[in-house]
Structure 1
Amino acid sequence: MKWGALKELGILIIIFGAVWAGFSYYNYDEIENPFAITLEKEAELSDFMNKHLMSDFKIIQNQALDSSIQIITDRLLSNLDSAQYEYKFHIMDESESNAFTTLDGNIYIFSGLIKEVSSAEELALILAHEIGHAENKHVVDKLIKTIGIEALFSIMTGGDPVLISEISKLTLSTSFDRLNEEEADDFALSLAYESQINPGRLAQFFLKMKAKDQSVLQEKLEFISTHPMSNDRIKKSSDYTLPDDFKEIAIPLDWEIVKSYLN
């Protein structure tokens, strides 16, 4: 066999080995993503990341507040078919108006957001949006696009704790792309409808946020910087088509009392 043929054979062997190694960690989905992280590996990576997040933020321990959030999330999750995760909701003592999704169904809610929304239904739409990011694997995709598949391989096989910490922070600070936000919106509006919550509640919250003074937006309303809004997205929520017989069933919470649990 000539040297050129041997060289080509060697390259093929290397490529095959790399692909085989990849598939030992990842599931193949030739339609969506040839390297889709398994739920088991995502949970493993999430454990590392959440430890760092928990050290950076103060978790609010309040049974009445937790129960109130559970009433909202139970309404949503009971109307979600075949959820990919067992969702876990964490309330953080942070003044910013924000909520974000990490890996393995972990969703974080800042106390500032609880104070900012006007009702349980508004918060339900925001949490439905975050669940949409999780169900559509947007966080995993964002990490792969931002840091590359090699870095995730390194973390999953016992990577540098400093790198894990930095990636945890990156999950908080990096915005999703426009397509991800639209998909999460579509998911949230549909889930709200199935949960007998008016999908227009999302537009109500967005419009209220956009009406805030620009200096306040920059300093406080982090939800806007991590979830950039457009008039098209607001209009989609406002104009969501509902049947004539649709009737919203109120979530049985007095929101002023819920906010008092934060004091």
Structure 2
Amino acid sequence: MSNSFFFSPRRWYTPLLSFSIALGIGASTPEVTLAIPWLDILRQGVQVYQLYNVSNREEVQLGQRINQQLVGEQFQLYNNARVNSYVDRIGQRLAKNSTRPDIPYTFQVVKDDSINAFATAGGYVYVTTGLLKAADNEAQLAGVLAHEIGHIAERHLIEQMRETAIARGLATAAGIDDSTAVQLGVELALRRPNSREDEFEADARGVQTLGKAGYAQVATIDFLEKLRSQRSTPTFLSTHPATSDRIARLREIIDSQQANRGEGLNESNYQAQTQPLN
């Protein structure tokens, strides 16, 4: 399980752009790309996503479907109300202070010893029990969650789904159907390598959100440095740009005079909240 620590053209020409791209995807004749007529789609009630212009409602619905596949088939959620409530409380605090607070967010703990976290579409964020154990304090955990919220705020998964669908010839003139979109979202959520640009962008959004929520921004750097010092590379870092590059960027972004100001650095309080994991 890999982690994710995610252009919108004007509305009036979005359908035309989507249609034009679909016509050029792996087809030699118009008949192939027009294999799913609009009227047939409407009659069948099939959800179709135009990945150039996904509404908030559509993205949340897509995230729900992806979540059903992940929870039902790929991993097991950690069943402890105290820990789950704690993580959700931190996540919701961050979400309200993010650049995209207008969608519902769902924060879930995955029962897995690996140090990992990732986000999908529509506000769904996942963090492993292994990462919760690895964090020293609440601000470090909040830094991870804020990074994942940054991916969601920038719609990185939707962008990667669009690029992958085009590359594989999965799109039609209408867009991409619901079932294909869900399967592609599951695949990318679990196995996608994240681009340098996406990661740096999520880092920048994350520390901005962290500060607005009242947490000490230095915690993000502290956690990355702690993971970098481990003998084996945690899953959390394996698909990301070089950790040293990320730390250097974060030091440029964060005001050194303000870095240690904020909440969440008390280790004993964090250990008390996550005690069921021990």
TM-score > 0.5 by shorter chain: yes
Aligned mates of 2:84, 2:226 — CA distance in 1: 25
Identity %, equivalent residues: 23
Question: Which structure ranks higher in relative contact order (CA pairs < 8 Å, sequence separation ≥ 6)?
Answer: 2
Distance 1:65 1:40 in 2: 29
User: Within 5 Å, which residues of 2 pair with 1:94-243?
Assistant: 94-148=112-166, 151=170, 157-159=177-179, 164-165=182-183, 167-213=185-231, 216-217=232-233, 221-239=234-252, 240-242=254-256
In structure 2, the CA distance between the partners of 1:233 and 1:25, relative to structure 1 (3 Å rule), is: same
**What is the TM-score when the length of structure 2 is the normalising length?**
0.73
Higher mean C-alpha deviation, range 252-261 or range 203-212: 252-261
Change in Cα spacing, 1:74 to 1:39, as seen in structure 2 (3 Å) is closer
Q: TM-score, normalised to structure 1's length? A: 0.76
- Measure how far apart 1:82 and its partner are: 5.0
- 1:224 positional shift: 0.5
Where structure 2 has 5 or more consecutive residues not aligned to the other structure, the ranges are: 1-15, 23-37, 39-46
Distance in 2 of aligned mates of 1:138 and 1:17: 18
CA distance in 1, matches of 2:69, 2:201: 28
Q: Does 1:37 align with 2:37?
A: no
Displacement of 1:248: 1.4
> Which amino acid letter does the alignment assign opposite residue 62 of structure 2?
L
Q: Tell me how far 1:51 sits from its aligned partner.
A: 1.4
Is residue 25–residue 37 contact of structure 1 (8 Å, CA) maintained in 2?
A: no
Instruction: Indicate the residue corresponding to 1:248 in structure 2.
Output: 262
Partner of 1:18: 19
Gap runs ≥5 in structure 1:
1-14, 28-33
User: What's the CA shift for 1:158?
Assistant: 4.5
Q: 2:82 aligns with which of 60, 64, 69?
A: 64
Please tell me whether the aligned partners of residues 199 and 238 of structure 1 are also in contact (alpha carbons under 8 angstroms). Answer: no
Give the conservation status (yes or no) of the 8 Å contact 2:110–2:129: yes
Partner secondary structure for residue 250 of structure 1: coil
Residue 242 of structure 1 deviates from its aligned partner by: 4.9
How many pairs were matched up?
A: 234
> Cα RMSD over matched residues?
3.2
What SS class does the counterpart of residue 148 from structure 1 fall into?
helix
* 1:197 Cα deviation after fit: 1.7
CA separation in 1, counterparts of 2:158 and 2:112? 25
Residue 258 (structure 1) aligns with: 273
Q: Alpha carbons of 1:201 and 1:151: their partners in 2 closer, same or farther (altered >3 Å)?
A: same
* Bigger CA radius of gyration: 1
CA offsets, 1:188-226, max 9 Å, x none? Answer: 11111212222221111111111111xx32xxx110113
Partner of 2:68: 51
